[in-house]
């Protein structure tokens, strides 16, 4: 279903930039703050399996928390991504605890894990959720951005009816990994393609010194994300090739199985995620999955012309507060 733009929880979005590329760049570079003096950070290390350690930055509110939010960043991002920092601030102001996750080998943690991350790697996040639940910190929600959104939706589908999560939100999510990989290779997206590829190649070069799974020898000929995933990601995780990796790890496959409140926020002009991938029957047939689609916003942009500047932060934290359970199972 599509939420009405004038919902009392959602509010209208008046974009500062109607050009999708400007919106995308603004979302990435706009200064954002997280008051760590008021909400001090602690570092948590989670070890979901041998050879894998995940670094998570945790903040707790001053008052007793209403619940906890685990954040997952996008491709080649980290826990310090601007969109995570500003939404963490909004969440803490609402008395949510915050857990800013560095996906496997991200955020300067290459030395902590034998392998890299991938778009459908849900086991690490599930382990983190289990550990937070074990600590009895309150109900837990999951928020994913871009690639992290794919992980969040896929995990929600894998879990189905679950006590690990009370709600999920995914923003600018590549529901169909193959379609989005092809979109990224379009000439108009060459800047994004070049940036992601250069960072991924650099990460493989770092891993090559410590892990036999990664060899930089053939990287010089790789020109697209599809080629990178075909050469590196798919073989390293046993998917064979990129086509099979995309087919099995796309969150679109898991939408029908979601049984907890889920909000997907998407700009129709996202240059990296074709809006056609949201023509998915689950948005009509699965009452637990809500789609908020706005005309403008680019990819993880959503910079508002009016106050509050970071419209997305208010949208998601308000929605999560409205879906917070009264009791913890």
- DSSP code string of 169-188: EEES--SSHHHHHHHHTSGG
pLDDT at 206 over 50: yes
C-beta separation of 115 from 105 below 8 A: yes
pLDDT at 329: 41
Spatial CA neighbour of 154 closest among 121, 180, 124 = 121
**pLDDT tier at 209, thresholds 50, 70, 90:** low
CATH tag, 1-175+251-329: 3.40.50.1820
Tell me: the pLDDT tens digits for 61-87?
A: 999 888 999 999 999 999 999 999 999
**CA-based torsion, 329, 283, 168, 226: positive or negative:** positive
pLDDT at 11 over 70: no
> Mean pLDDT, the chain, as a whole number?
92
**pLDDT tier at 327, thresholds 50, 70, 90:** very low
C-beta separation of 318 from 9 below 8 A: yes
CATH 3.40.50.1820 domain residues, the chain: 1-175+251-329
pLDDT at 325 over 90: no
Q: How far apart (Å, rounded) are the C-alpha atoms in residues 265 and 290? A: 9
| Two structure tokens written together for 229 | 């995933």
pLDDT at 6 over 50: no
Q: Mean pLDDT across the stretch 125-137?
A: 96
pLDDT at 248 over 50: yes
- Its pTM stands at 0.93
**pLDDT tier at 2, thresholds 50, 70, 90:** very low
Spatial CA neighbour of 222 closest among 246, 249, 202 = 202
* Strands ordered across the beta sheet of 52-59: 41-49, 52-59, 96-101, 67-72, 140-145, 167-171, 262-267, 289-294
Q: Angle, to 10 degrees, between the axis of helix 82-93 and the axis of helix 20-29?
A: 70
pLDDT at 214: 61
C-beta separation of 130 from 164 below 8 A: yes
pLDDT at 4 over 50: no
Percent of the chain with pLDDT over 90: 84
Tell me: the pLDDT tens digits for 148-192?
A: 999 999 999 999 999 999 999 999 999 999 999 999 999 999 999
């Amino acid at each position: 279903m599509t939420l009405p733009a004038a919902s009392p929880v959602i509010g209208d979005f008046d974009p500062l930039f109607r050009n999708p590329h400007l919106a995308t760049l603004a979302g990435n570079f706009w200064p954002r703050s997280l008051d760590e003096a008021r909400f001090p950070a602690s570092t948590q290390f989670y070890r979901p399996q041998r050879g894998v350690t995940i670094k998570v930055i945790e903040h707790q509110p001053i008052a007793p928390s209403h619940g906890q939010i685990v954040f997952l960043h996008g491709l080649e991002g980290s826990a310090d991504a601007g969109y995570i920092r500003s939404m963490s601030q909004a969440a803490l102001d609402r008395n949510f605890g915050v857990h800013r996750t560095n996906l496997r080998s991200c955020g300067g943690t290459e030395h902590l894990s034998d392998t890299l991350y991938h778009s459908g790697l849900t086991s690490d996040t599930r382990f983190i959720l289990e550990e937070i639940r074990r600590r009895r910190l309150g109900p837990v929600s999951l928020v994913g951005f871009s690639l992290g959104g794919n992980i969040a939706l896929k995990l929600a589908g894998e879990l189905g009816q679950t006590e690990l999560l009370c709600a999920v939100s995914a923003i600018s999510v590549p529901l169909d990994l193959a379609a989005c990989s092809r979109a990224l290779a379009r000439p108009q997206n060459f800047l994004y393609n070049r940036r992601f590829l250069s960072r991924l190649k650099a990460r493989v070069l770092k891993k090559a010194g410590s892990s036999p799974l990664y060899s930089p020898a053939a990287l010089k000929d790789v020109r697209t994300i599809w080629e990178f995933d075909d050469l590196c990601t798919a073989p390293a995780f046993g998917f064979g090739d990129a086509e099979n990796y995309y087919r099995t790890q796309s969150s679109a496959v898991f939408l029908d199985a979601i049984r907890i409140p889920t909000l997907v926020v998407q700009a129709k002009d996202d240059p990296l995620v074709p809006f056609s991938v949201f023509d998915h029957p689950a948005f009509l047939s699965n009452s637990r999955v809500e789609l908020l689609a706005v005309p403008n916003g680019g990819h993880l942009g959503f910079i508002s012309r009016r106050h509050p500047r970071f419209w997305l932060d208010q949208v998601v934290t308000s929605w999560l507060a409205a879906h917070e359970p009264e009791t913890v199972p």
